[in-house]
C-alpha cells in the first residue's frame, strides 16, 4: 500500500488543522492505521492509531482530548483532526499502516508498521 499525507502547515497556538493520509494499492480496510510525529532533534513518536474498521482508537496522552484519529474506508483515507494546537506539537507527521487479520487490532509500536507515508510538516507558532 502507498500512503500520501497532506494537510500540514503553519498555524498559531490554539488553532486547528486536519491531516489526511490517502492510500492506494491494496484493500485499505485490511490495514491498521497510525499517525506518528518527529520533532527536530527528537525520535519519532506515536500519536494515534485506529483499527481496521475504525471501531477502536488510541491516542497518546500528550494529544488526548485535542487530537482525534478517524478513517473512511470507502475513500481509503485516514484523518487526524488536531485542535488546541501547541508549539510543542510542531513536527513532521507521518501516517503508517500494517496489515492484520484482526478487526479490533491497533498498535502504538512504531516497529510494527510496515508502510509509511512521506510526512507532512506542522508548525505551531506561539
Question: Which tens digit of pLDDT belongs to each residue from 87-119?
Answer: 999 999 999 999 999 999 999 999 999 999 999
Reply yes or no on whether the pLDDT at 26 is more than 80: no
Q: Could you say which DSSP state residue 52 is in?
A: T
* Residue 115: Cβ within 10 Å count: 17
Listed residue (126, 122, 123) closest to 19, CA to CA:
122
Rounded mean pLDDT, 43-47: 98
Q: What is the mean pLDDT of the chain?
A: 97
Reply yes or no on whether the pLDDT at 8 is more than 80: yes
Confidence of residue 25 (pLDDT cuts 50, 70, 90): confident
Bridge pairing between strands 77-82 and 67-72 = antiparallel
Confidence at residue 94, expressed as pLDDT on a 0 to 100 scale: 98
Confidence at residue 108, expressed as pLDDT on a 0 to 100 scale: 96
Amino acid at each position: 500500500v502507498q500512503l500520501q499525507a497532506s494537510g500540514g502547515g503553519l498555524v498559531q497556538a490554539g488553532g486547528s488543522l486536519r491531516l489526511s493520509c490517502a492510500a492506494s494499492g491494496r484493500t485499505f480496510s485490511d490495514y491498521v492505521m497510525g499517525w506518528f510525529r518527529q520533532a527536530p532533534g527528537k525520535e519519532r513518536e506515536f500519536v494515534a492509531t485506529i483499527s481496521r474498521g475504525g471501531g477502536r482508537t488510541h491516542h497518546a496522552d500528550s494529544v488526548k482530548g485535542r487530537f482525534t484519529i478517524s478513517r473512511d474506508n470507502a475513500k481509503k483515507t485516514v484523518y487526524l483532526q488536531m485542535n488546541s494546537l501547541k508549539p510543542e506539537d510542531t513536527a513532521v507527521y507521518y501516517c503508517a499502516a500494517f496489515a492484520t487479520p484482526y478487526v479490533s487490532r491497533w498498535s502504538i509500536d512504531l516497529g510494527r508498521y510496515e508502510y509509511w507515508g512521506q510526512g507532512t510538516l506542522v508548525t505551531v507558532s506561539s
